[in-house]
Copies of this chain bind each other. A is one copy, B any other.
Amino acid sequence: MVTVSTSKAYHHGDLRTALVEAGLRHLEAGGETDISLRQLAREVGVSATAVYRHFPDKKALLAALAESGIARLGEAQRIASEHAGGGPAGFAATGRAYVHFALDNPALFRLTFTHAGHAGSPTNSSDEPSRLLRSYSEQFGGENAERLTLQAWAVAHGLAMLMLDGRLPPDDALINRVIDTKSLFPAQPSGSNNDASP
Contacts and interface: CB of A to CB of B under 8 A. Distances in A.
Contact-residue size bin, chain A (C-beta under 8 Å from the other chain): 20 to 34
A189 to B, nearest CB: 4
Interface in A122-166: 122, 146-147, 150-151, 153-162, 165-166
Contact of A187 (B122, B157, B189): B189
Interface string A157-192: 111111001111100001001100001001101100
Contacts of A186: 186, 189
A120 B157 CA distance: 19
Contacts of A119: 165-167
A3 interface: no
A67 to B, nearest CB: 15
Contacts of A160: 158
A151 B190 contact: no
Contact of A147 (B122, B154, B183, B187): B183
The count of identical subunits is 2
A119 B169 CA distance: 10
Given A153-B162, A154-B154, A167 B114 contact: no
A159 B156 CA distance: 10
Given A121-B169, A146-B177, A186-B186, 8 more contacts: A113-B165, A119-B165, A151-B183, A153-B162, A154-B157, A157-B161, A157-B162, A187-B189
